[in-house]
Amino acid sequence: MAAYIMKRFVLMVVTVLIIATLTFFLMNLLPGSPLNEERTTNESVQQNLEAHFNLDEPLIVQYVLYLKSIATFDFGPSIKQPTETVNSLLGRGFPISAELGIWTILTAVVSGITLGVFAALRHNGIIDYIAMTIAVLGISVPNFVLATMLIQELAVNRGIFPAATWNSPAHMVLPILALATGPMAIIARLTRSSMLETLTQDYIKTARAKGLSPVKVIVKHALKNALMPVVTILGTLMAGILTGTFVIEKIFAIPGMGKYFVQSINQRDYPVIMGTTVFYSVFLVFMLFLVDIAYGLLDPRIKLHEKGDG
Amino acid sequence: MEKILDIKDLHVSFVTYGGEVQAVRGVNLELYKGETLAIVGESGCGKSVTANSIMRLIPSPPGRIKKGSIHFKGEDMTKLSNKQVRKIRGVDISMIFQDPMTALNPTLTIGNQLTEGLKQHRKISSKQANDQAIDMLNLVGIPNPDERMKQYPHQFSGGMRQRIVIAMALICEPELLIADEPTTALDVTIQAQILQLFQKIQRETGVSIILITHDLGVVAKIASRIAVMYAGKVIETGTRQEIFYRPNHPYTQGLLNSVPRLDQKGEKLIPIVGTPPDLFSPPQGCPFTARCPKAMEVCSRVYPFQTELSETHAVDCWLQDERAKKYIAST
């Protein structure tokens, strides 16, 4: 197990490095620079600023400097917001984004699995049809459309929930709902088909023949096996939710990381672009790592260690 | 001898898009304490459906017990609530399924799967359940049971898994063990070991066994009584000797002719020509008529009455009916 984690760790570092490198060069391919604005600046001021942010160095030197900043996890000051450092932006925005993301994942997983299991148990029954209708709608309607519909109906027309910002649990309901519906629908459909297949397995019959209660048969014997594909797709879904937060944060005016991320690209704020990208990729790569660990815990046939005792 | 199972006029149907499949059409069977009854017949003759009906394990829908009764120790299984049936499953009646490779849950340890039945039905501590499971593994011949309890199914071979499945079925000391083709998925040497294990267990625990198989070699080895099924009906029952040495139904004779024998070298096997009837619309007369070399006019019109040839031997065939015999003699 320790060997496996070590191996994965090295792979994770390499992955993040590749992402950082790609981002760096792509970023520099973009026309313009953070100091390039409409108003003309004094030539010497421009040079001084460039020197201050090391933008006058050759690209390769800048690259090395960036790598250094990644290694120390100190991305320096923002060029566009001189009073802020990248780290302070991350420190402020990330907890809010994480809150949104984690609640979204939890909502999607719990409701998706529940919906899928009940649909499978009442296969071709009314519950099945209702659940799958919800699922198809959830997959087809993009989250920003759903978000505006939710705001219009539940915030503006009925006034049940606040329309924007992020101050209390009530504020969180609509963004989470808007963001979680898509992943929930995918999970529900996957759980249903996987559950239907699992329920025809011989070991389910064995479990029933032992006289176990239906709940025990489903939760202990069927669900654990049926969740395998769901766990697999969880990694992809998390990436989707991560990018989804940008849009949702914008719509609901949530002061999360998404705002800085989009803004930084528009303004060519190099340190912020690099900082947020590296941060997001570290986060995502770590989540995928957790998914792989969970996979091994669910199915003992998947060996996480190289040379085990079998 | 005490009768522990009595099936009367059992009808089981499956409703599908194509219509109603009458899988079991009036089966009568009885089982006495401590005996081994083999139900034989080709694929689709209703033997597994009969066995699953006893445990009420027919998937419903589409399956349904339409008619008849299954009395187990005086109680009619067809009339019990699901909750009552669960108290019998695994405790009084246990079942072993065909394929040991799929009958065990791949994500749970052997120990967990062995003890969960015990914990469900008996008020005992985990420690006691564990000890009992280890005893059981010893009985079915698994070496190092302590260690093996913590392992997962994929760490066992097919034969070992079937032993575990058997241990699982026996752990609550059932009175009736239903084995649905327990050796079909195993290779021949392992088959022999598993059959010996059945005999040993029966000697030690006195459990009654219903053995479902299409392998007459298995039957010859351990069955005390045999019921031959065809197209959802039991067409002949008798002791092992009666069925093997004095088969009366042309179908039973055909089955025995199609088994290779060591003592008759070089002879060709005689297959039964044709295929079994479609159970969407079973024929009104004897279902074997179309394939029967001795079929008479009456066979396709009326299902034969049961003729008792001895106290233990009964056959559903017009050839054995006195009236038909007289008629044949007169023409």
Amino acid making up residue A232? T
Amino acid making up residue A98? A
- Going by pLDDT thresholds of 50, 70 and 90, the confidence category of residue B141 is confident
ipTM of the complex: 0.83
Taking CA–CA distances from A309, the nearest residue in chain B reads B155
Model pLDDT, residue B178 = 92
Q: Which of B87, B89, B102 sits opposite A203 (nearest CB)?
A: B102
- Going by pLDDT thresholds of 50, 70 and 90, the confidence category of residue A308 is very low
| Helix/strand/coil for A197 | helix
For A275, residues 6+ apart whose C-beta sits below 8 A from its C-beta are A75, A86, A87, A89, A90
pTM of the model: 0.81
Query: Do A211 and B107 count as a contact with CB atoms less than 8 A apart?
Result: no
Average pLDDT, chain B: 87
Contact B237, B225 (CB under 8 A): yes
Interface of B with A (CB under 8 A): 55, 57, 86-91, 94-95, 97-99, 102-109, 116-117, 120-121, 152, 154-155, 165, 168-169
Chain A residues with CB inside 8 Å of B92's CB? none
Could you give the C-alpha distances from B126 to A73, B174, B275, in angstroms and in order?
A: 50, 20, 52
Query: Do A210 and B116 count as a contact with CB atoms less than 8 A apart?
Result: yes
Position of tokens 């059409």? B25
Residue B11 Cα, gap to closest chain A Cα (Å):
21
Query: Do B86 and A211 count as a contact with CB atoms less than 8 A apart?
Result: yes
Interface of A with B (CB under 8 A): 201-203, 205-213, 216, 220-221, 224-225, 298-301, 310
Mean pLDDT of B206-213: 91
Taking CA–CA distances from A300, the nearest residue in chain B reads B107
For A48, residues 6+ apart whose C-beta sits below 8 A from its C-beta are none
| CA–CA gap between residue A284 and residue A243 (Å, rounded) | 11
Assess whether pLDDT exceeds 50 at residue A306.
no
Tens digit of each residue's pLDDT (9 = 90 or more) over B273-307? 888 888 888 888 888 988 888 888 888 888 888 88
Assess whether pLDDT exceeds 80 at residue A216.
yes
Mean pLDDT of B213-222: 84
User: Would you call the peptide bond into B304 cis, given omega within 30 degrees of 0 as the criterion?
Assistant: no
Q: Which two tokens stand for residue B258?
A: 């199609």
Model pLDDT, residue B63 = 85
Taking CA–CA distances from A303, the nearest residue in chain B reads B154
| Residue B76, φ and ψ in degrees, nearest 5 | -85, 110
Taking CA–CA distances from B85, the nearest residue in chain A reads A211
Q: Which of A124, A203, A227 to mutate to test the interface with B (most CBs of B within 10 A)?
A: A203
Contact B103, A206 (CB under 8 A): yes
| CA–CA gap between residue A141 and residue A122 (Å, rounded) | 25
- Going by pLDDT thresholds of 50, 70 and 90, the confidence category of residue A303 is low
| Helix/strand/coil for B238 | strand
Query: Do A220 and B108 count as a contact with CB atoms less than 8 A apart?
Result: yes
Query: Do A210 and B165 count as a contact with CB atoms less than 8 A apart?
Result: no
Tens digit of each residue's pLDDT (9 = 90 or more) over B271-282? 888 888 888 888
Amino acid making up residue B211? L
Q: Which two tokens stand for residue B314?
A: 């009964």
Q: Which of A197, A206, A217, A231 to mutate to test the interface with B (most CBs of B within 10 A)?
A: A206
Assess whether pLDDT exceeds 70 at residue A38.
no
Tens digit of each residue's pLDDT (9 = 90 or more) over B11-29? 999 988 888 888 889 899 9
Q: Which of B102, B154, B168 sits opposite A301 (nearest CB)?
A: B154
Report the largest interatomic distance among the alpha carbons of chain A, rounded to a whole angstrom.
85
Tens digit of each residue's pLDDT (9 = 90 or more) over A54-108? 777 888 888 888 888 888 888 888 887 778 888 888 888 888 888 899 999 999 9
Query: Do B117 and A299 count as a contact with CB atoms less than 8 A apart?
Result: no
- The DSSP call for residue A156 is I
Query: Do B168 and A216 count as a contact with CB atoms less than 8 A apart?
Result: no
- The DSSP call for residue A104 is H
